[in-house]
A and B are shown apart, each in its own frame.
Chain A
């Protein structure tokens, strides 16, 4: 997709990315942040669906099935997710380089979403030692989430 110009960048995030740092966790799908070349289309994911269909990867609900995994493509939607993709790591997955969102961005994206399972993700990342409270605080501050981080600390870390 990168080579074909359908997307300009991508990075795995969500639970599958979290597992780089923590123990395995239950998840039903794989989430991929995508940066899409600017255009006039309203259906920003249309080119991705068309490209995948041509390759034999078919839509399934809001996802596209790749092997056993439904893959959900999520266009970058704010400065935080743009930065998360730009600064993603490129580890090798069984010999194949693969873009993956870093632990600090995973934690702050989770903070911004704010569901119970996102809070669990932040705690797991902290517990794994892959990111520190100070790093999360700094990134949260830069993206207007300082208050959300203070509330998280008061609720889960300083009690």
Chain B
């Protein structure tokens, strides 16, 4: 675990890691749910295979960004589609800080062309 480390040391994040962190920021999820949500939030542009997903998950657990949930989340319905054997993952505090740092970094990049009027947006005179 590297939870005491500086979050900016892990930046920039790979697209797969960023999308997994974004997905888990809304709650605990299992692998297939993560894949489906990533595909939905990118309009199908990012489609992770099982290898990409669990390769990223392995590295994210090793760096302390996420952790497996030991107990089954209480808010999950016990219906047929929810398999008992599924392992859920959640964001750690360190993962949350890394995600926030990455979003700030991306925001600063997005602001750059606006500041330079590259997108035809007038800089506010305030």
Does A pair with B?
no
Binding site for A on B (CB under 8 A): none
Binding site for B on A (CB under 8 A): none
